[in-house]
């Protein structure tokens, strides 16, 4: 159905005059008559009775009017759903428990006027494709540079170097240590069943393992975080990496340990990616917030980052 014709019908019904409807719509009276006639032909009924004093709704016109108004309201809602500044800012995070999801929660607390639509896409390839086709406005990813050349339309800026900790059960050899160096992990099993080959996080942990000599064990299956906690709690040999910002609650009987990694501290390099020509005002607010909140000691000489990581602004 031609919504311009529907809009013309509603304006004519409200004014009772084709001439006044034409003035309201900024078109000629002849154009109003043609649009109404085309709509009547589409519907197969007469909507108006023409009189010397104007246009009077027929019974069919009266029946159609509320539905016509609903069509125009639906059109406005549809346009608003994708109009920058009216629709929610769509942001991708790797997972809802990771540190970047926490950054997004902090942004929302600081900018409650910006509606957010949080999604979780699998892998950087899917996230970059979604940026290019406009499915999302921004994504948090580790950018594997120079191995991954970002499309020209995409911009990226480092926003967080996330320190890792060693996560063990009470029987593990490092359970009582105040801190551990990455070199001490040489030959030890680090259980990470979610490290899918080809993802940016697998690339990170593969280089970490190659640098410090630990073994990344990806044997699954993956039964979720609760299963991982149970397995780590019961094992004297398995450990995994965790972030201080990851919100986890485990049963008191598990007696799990989070042990700092020092000399150097491995950090996971998160960047914010977006499409250059995206006009959503919430995107600019998110970038400004993240850059203002970025720690002054972002990275540092006592941290380890993979060689492929996107350079920090201070590098």
Looking at residues 114-127, what average pLDDT do you find? 89
Specify the higher pLDDT residue, 223 or 74. 74
pLDDT of res. 86: 66
* pLDDT at position 102: 86
Weakest mean pLDDT among 83-87, 121-125, 240-244? 83-87
Contact 156, 148 (CB under 8 A): no
The dihedral of CA 75, 81, 84, 86: what is its sign?
positive
What digits encode the pLDDT tens for the residues 245-261?
776 667 777 888 899 99
pLDDT at 228: 80
* Tens digits of residue pLDDT in 146-190: 556 788 999 999 999 999 999 999 999 999 999 999 999 999 999
Residue 313 CA neighbour count, 13 Å, CB half: 15
Q: Nearest to residue 104, comparing CAs of 68, 66, 139?
A: 139
Work out the percent of the chain whose per-residue pLDDT is above 90: 55
Q: What's the mean pLDDT in 50-60?
A: 88
Q: How far apart are CA 121 and CA 12, in angstroms?
A: 48
Provide CATH 3.40.190.290 ranges for the chain.
89-304
DSSP letter, residue 238: E
Calpha distance 21→78 (Å, rounded): 25
Q: What is the mean pLDDT of residues 42-54?
A: 90
> CA-to-CA distance for 54 and 16, rounded, in angstroms?
6
pLDDT surpasses 80 at 221: no
Does the pLDDT of residue 28 top 60, yes or no? Answer: yes
How do beta strands 189-191 and 238-243 pair? parallel
pLDDT at site 262: 94
Q: What are phi and psi of 221, to 5 degrees?
A: -80, 175
pLDDT higher at 310 or 118: 118
Of the pLDDT bands very low, low, confident and very high (cuts 50, 70, 90), residue 94 is confident
Rama region for 150: left / alpha / beta (φ>0; ψ in -120 to 50; rest): beta
- CA-nearest of 94, 76, 96, 95 to 86 is 76
CA distances from 224 to 111, 125, 148, 221, 308 (A): 32, 23, 30, 9, 29
CATH 3.40.190.290 fits 89-304, yes or no: yes
Q: Could you report the per-residue pLDDT of 187-204, keeping only the tens digit for each?
A: 999 988 878 888 888 899
Segment 86-97 shows an average pLDDT of: 84
CATH code, residues 3-82:
1.10.10.10
Taking 80 as the threshold, does the pLDDT of residue 311 lie above it?
no
Output the six-digit token pair for 181. 């160096």
pLDDT band at residue 298 using 50, 70 and 90 as cut-offs: very low
pLDDT at position 308, please?
Answer: 86
Determine the pLDDT at residue 163. Answer: 92
Q: pLDDT averaged over the chain?
A: 87
Write down the residue that tokens 């994504």 correspond to: 139
Please tell me the distance from the alpha carbon of residue 247 to that of residue 211, in angstroms, as a whole number: 28
Host H or E run for residue 62 = helix 59-82
229, pLDDT greater than 90: no
The span from the CA of 161 to the CA of 303, in Å, is 9
Residues of the chain with CATH 1.10.10.10: 3-82
Across residues 57-64, what is the average pLDDT? Answer: 95
Residues 6+ apart with CB under 8 A from 138: 89, 90, 91, 92, 131, 272, 273, 274, 283, 286
């Amino acid at each position: 159905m031609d919504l311009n014709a529907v809009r013309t019908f509603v304006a004519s019904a409200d004014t009772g005059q084709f001439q006044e409807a034409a003035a309201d719509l900024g078109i000629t009276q002849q154009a109003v008559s043609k649009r109404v006639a085309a709509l009547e032909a589409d519907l197969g009924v007469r909507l108006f009775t023409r009189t010397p004093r104007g246009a009077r709704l027929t019974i069919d016109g009266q029946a159609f009017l509320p539905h016509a108004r609903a069509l125009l309201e639906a059109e406005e809602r549809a346009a608003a759903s994708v109009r920058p500044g009216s629709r929610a800012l769509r942001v991708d995070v790797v997972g809802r428990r990771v540190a970047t999801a926490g950054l997004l929660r902090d942004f929302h607390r600081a900018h409650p006027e910006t509606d957010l639509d949080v999604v979780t896409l699998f892998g950087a390839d899917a996230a970059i494709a979604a940026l290019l086709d406009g499915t999302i406005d921004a994504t948090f990813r580790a950018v594997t540079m120079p191995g991954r050349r970002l499309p020209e339309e995409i911009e990226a800026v480092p926003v967080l170097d996330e320190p890792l900790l060693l996560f063990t059960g009470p029987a593990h050899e490092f359970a009582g240590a105040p801190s551990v160096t990455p070199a001490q992990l040489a030959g030890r099993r680090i259980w990470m069943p979610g490290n899918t080959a080809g993802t940016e996080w697998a690339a990170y942990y593969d280089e970490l393992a190659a640098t410090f000599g630990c073994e990344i064990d990806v044997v699954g299956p993956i039964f979720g975080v609760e299963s991982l906690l149970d397995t780590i709690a019961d094992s004297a040999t398995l450990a995994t990496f965790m972030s201080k910002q990851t919100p986890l609650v485990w049963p008191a009987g598990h007696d799990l340990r989070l042990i700092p990694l020092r000399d150097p501290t491995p950090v996971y390099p998160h960047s914010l990616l977006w499409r250059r020509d995206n006009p959503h005002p919430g995107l600019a607010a998110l970038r400004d917030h993240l850059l203002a909140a970025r720690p002054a000691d972002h990275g540092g000489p006592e941290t380890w980052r993979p060689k492929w990581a996107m350079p920090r602004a201070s590098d």
